[in-house]
Chain A
């Protein structure tokens, strides 16, 4: 028995080492491979990576531990300002090479954000649900107003961060590290405590789970990753200002976590990339008449919701039916657009770029009305899950702690 476990472990160790080595190799070559792309594409890739870090780390707090936080932009800001402050005061004095400086700054940003997370996490002992959401939002705003009025932090102008460092490999390395940490955390007994707190606080306290410590730990770990992402952002943009970390950023991050499915790490990754890319792509959108913009969401919400509720049949038919509903939505949206176009004032052209946050809002509402559990719900996008979807029994990995 012990031999079997041992063999299993050594096998896994080899797989682990190989995969870690492979990832590092790919990451180190990533900047070289993508060197041919233009700056805009590189910028999108790097920012998408940062959003993945933010969404996954927020998922640890919101989805996995169930502590509804709406102040994640604040931790991002703390990391970015820490990096900005260090760069403007210490960089020329220490004169370190950038490859050494970046990890140091990321660690510093993470530590500063973790301390902020600890401070925010402490009230979470007494609050739950919507109150906690408001308080975290409030903490974020307080930090922002303080930074906005602090002379050391450059008031509303922010700080200039002198060495620019733009590396796709570093950003996505951080993203992968974040995903790996969260994923591996859930495989340990400590990770199960996070899930237990989410499911039922009172019951898990009765079972001996240290509820307080777990909640605060979730805040500390989640905000540390956000802080590291902030440090990368500061060196990527070359400046930090409070306008970059408004409430909207927190709302977007919450949308990402909810869209992906609260608690699902892969869901957060997918939603982060999608919700980051779609608004960027919409900048290119031609001006659209008002009628179409109004018609589409009405059609989607009205039709999808009705049809979804009516159906109680086998899962396989549901797929075909859902496809039909989506097609029906498109037809209805076009028809509604045509009808609305006859109303006065409905042919005003709207710039595509103005629709950015409107899309977030409609996504949030439609999601909550149609599929409150998110794209992947609490599942992870893994090979086993796909197998199970196709009706084949997959091996179960029961965690014995």
Chain B
């Protein structure tokens, strides 16, 4: 397969995209890693909790008036906050319900039974959701709900001035040609089968456009500009804040200490007076709420994201890979893994084999499990008889 020409100049932009996307993976991965730490269970339904979170955000935005074909123009950050809270609350409730009714009754069975139940819950939410939720045409959250739609441009290096001047000249040429063509169209020229004079005008327009495109590509190659949408920067900021809160919760509070105790040794923690059931519920609550936050931000700030009931499948799998990559059961590892997964995906797009971006997660997973099964920050233990 021929690789498209690899452009070194687009690398910083792709890396930035990767980190922004990776912050969502990190939020989902935290849920996987916390549940695995406490129950040693891969919560396959986590991706579907993420999907439900996106739907909650969608319905919240509809409730705020941003229905399809709305005519609203003004919005405020409060709307975003409401959507975020709605999404986190619904996900927390769903996560706790799943734990209570699907995982708790079989906690003492072999782990494979829990895994199969998790797959069952995941399929139930995917296909059962199709009975209730709007899926076709796949809805998306109206971009107008987001007040931060402008972008920050970081210019590391500008293209030579002469080149930019040329591009400007070409731009005005294109505009002139376009105006001429539009005038002919308005005068009744056929768009598809123009007369001979019309064809000359059209060809001139197309030639000018091609030249402008080439020039712009040249400018992009010679300059280094990173475009960062403000919304996505806020997303990254919110992710960092949530992770800070989580770290505080796990490291410096009583429930956090209990959670670490349960994760270290389930049975001993129970014997020492830790209420294991409530800690497991608490873990699911926190993990699912984080997934809900990720879902809302994904669906809102990556504008035009279509939501359907399979929305959570691929992010779920990738976040799981991120958790394994960082060392499953390890909270900083999940964040690191999430960011690395996002960057890996962006690099695949950068190299020019974007159609394989969904395969890269599995390749990374297999590589990690074969080379360093404990993950980057984890430690692998040898099983003793």
List residues of A whose CB falls within 8 A of some B CB. 68, 70, 123, 126-127, 129-131, 133-135, 138-139, 141-142, 145-146, 148-149, 202-203, 248, 251, 254, 258, 290, 293, 305, 350, 354-358, 360-365, 368-369, 372
Q: In the complex, which residues of chain A have a beta carbon less than 8 angstroms from the beta carbon of B109?
A: 368, 372
Q: In the complex, which residues of chain B have a beta carbon less than 8 angstroms from the beta carbon of A251?
A: 119, 123
Contacting residue for B111 out of A130, A141, A146, A369, CB 8 A: A130
Q: In whole angstroms, how far apart are the Cα atoms of A80 and B175 in the complex? A: 54
CB <8 Å contact, A138 and B116: no
CB <8 Å contact, A138 and B362: yes
Q: In the complex, which residues of chain A have a beta carbon less than 8 angstroms from the beta carbon of B383?
A: 202
Contacting residue for B121 out of A130, A142, A146, A361, CB 8 A: A361
CB <8 Å contact, A131 and B102: no
Distance between A64 CB and nearest chain B CB, rounded to angstroms: 14
B385 within 8 A of A: yes
Given A134-B320, A138-B365, A142-B363, A254:B131 Cβ within 8 A: no
- Among listed B63-71, B87-95, B247-255, B351-359, interface-contacting one: B351-359
Distance between A249 CB and nearest chain B CB, rounded to angstroms: 12
Other than the known A146-B359, A361-B123, what 12 A-B pairs have Cβ atoms closer than 8 Å? A68-B115, A134-B324, A142-B362, A145-B356, A149-B1, A254-B116, A358-B124, A358-B127, A361-B124, A361-B126, A364-B120, A369-B117
Distance between A77 CB and nearest chain B CB, rounded to angstroms: 15
Q: In the complex, which residues of chain A have a beta carbon less than 8 angstroms from the beta carbon of B363?
A: 138, 142
Q: In the complex, which residues of chain A have a beta carbon less than 8 angstroms from the beta carbon of B373?
A: 126-127, 131
Given A362-B124, A368-B120, A142:B112 Cβ within 8 A: no
Smallest CB-CB A-B distances: 5 pairs = A364-B120, A138-B362, A361-B124, A361-B123, A357-B127
Residue among B116, B365, B373 with the most chain A CB within 10 A?
B116
Contacting residue for A358 out of B113, B131, B324, B355, CB 8 A: B131
Smallest CB gap from A145: residue in B: B359
CB <8 Å contact, B130 and A354: yes
Q: In the complex, which residues of chain B have a beta carbon less than 8 angstroms from the beta carbon of A305?
A: 105
Q: In the complex, which residues of chain B have a beta carbon less than 8 angstroms from the beta carbon of A358?
A: 123-124, 127-128, 131
B366 within 8 A of A: yes
CB <8 Å contact, A139 and B366: yes
Q: Which of B330-379 contact A (CB under 8 A)?
A: 355-356, 358-359, 361-363, 365-366, 369-370, 373
CB <8 Å contact, B111 and A129: yes
B106 within 8 A of A: yes
CB <8 Å contact, B124 and A142: no
Q: Interface code B47-61, partner A: CB below 8 Å = 1, 0 otherwise?
A: 000000000000000
B42 within 8 A of A: yes
Q: In the complex, which residues of chain B have a beta carbon less than 8 angstroms from the beta carbon of A357?
A: 123, 126-127
Distance between B189 CB and nearest chain A CB, rounded to angstroms: 38
Q: In the complex, which residues of chain B have a beta carbon less than 8 angstroms from the beta carbon of A369?
A: 102, 105-106, 117
Interface of chain B: mostly helix, strand, loop or mixed: helix
Contacting residue for B128 out of A141, A361, A364, CB 8 A: A361
Interface of chain A: mostly helix, strand, loop or mixed: helix
Q: In the complex, which residues of chain A have a beta carbon less than 8 angstroms from the beta carbon of B121?
A: 361, 365
CB <8 Å contact, A149 and B106: no
Q: In the complex, which residues of chain B have a beta carbon less than 8 angstroms from the beta carbon of A258?
A: 116
CB <8 Å contact, B106 and A139: no
Q: In the complex, which residues of chain A have a beta carbon less than 8 angstroms from the beta carbon of B123?
A: 248, 251, 357-358, 360-361, 364
Q: In the complex, which residues of chain A have a beta carbon less than 8 angstroms from the beta carbon of B385?
A: 202-203
CB <8 Å contact, B358 and A127: no
Residue among A149, A251, A258, A358 with the most chain B CB within 10 A?
A358
Smallest CB gap from B119: residue in A: A251
Q: In the complex, which residues of chain A have a beta carbon less than 8 angstroms from the beta carbon of B119?
A: 70, 251, 254, 364
Smallest CB gap from A369: residue in B: B105
Distance between B49 CB and nearest chain A CB, rounded to angstroms: 15
CB <8 Å contact, B131 and A354: yes
Distance between A95 CB and nearest chain B CB, rounded to angstroms: 33
Distance between B193 CB and nearest chain A CB, rounded to angstroms: 32
A-B contact list, 18 entries, CB within 8 Å: A123-B370, A127-B373, A138-B363, A138-B366, A141-B359, A142-B359, A149-B1, A258-B116, A355-B131, A357-B126, A361-B124, A361-B128, A365-B102, A365-B121, A365-B124, A368-B106, A368-B120, A369-B102
Q: In the complex, which residues of chain A have a beta carbon less than 8 angstroms from the beta carbon of B116?
A: 254, 258, 364, 368
Q: In the complex, which residues of chain B have a beta carbon less than 8 angstroms from the beta carbon of A363?
A: 120
Distance between B128 CB and nearest chain A CB, rounded to angstroms: 5
CB <8 Å contact, A130 and B42: yes
CB <8 Å contact, B369 and A149: no
Q: Which of B74-126 contact A (CB under 8 A)?
A: 102, 105-106, 109-113, 115-117, 119-124, 126
Residue among B106, B120, B132, B383 with the most chain A CB within 10 A?
B120
Q: In whole angstroms, how far apart are the Cα atoms of A210 and B302 in the complex? A: 52
Contacting residue for B366 out of A123, A202, A361, A365, CB 8 A: A123
Q: In the complex, which residues of chain B have a beta carbon less than 8 angstroms from the beta carbon of A248?
A: 123
Smallest CB gap from A62: residue in B: B112
Q: In the complex, which residues of chain A have a beta carbon less than 8 angstroms from the beta carbon of B106?
A: 368-369, 372
Q: In the complex, which residues of chain A have a beta carbon less than 8 angstroms from the beta carbon of B127?
A: 354, 356-358, 361
Q: In whole angstroms, how far apart are the Cα atoms of A369 and B98 in the complex? A: 13
CB <8 Å contact, B365 and A290: no
Distance between B347 CB and nearest chain A CB, rounded to angstroms: 17
Q: In whole angstroms, how far apart are the Cα atoms of A68 and B121 in the complex? A: 18
Contacting residue for A139 out of B42, B117, B362, CB 8 A: B362
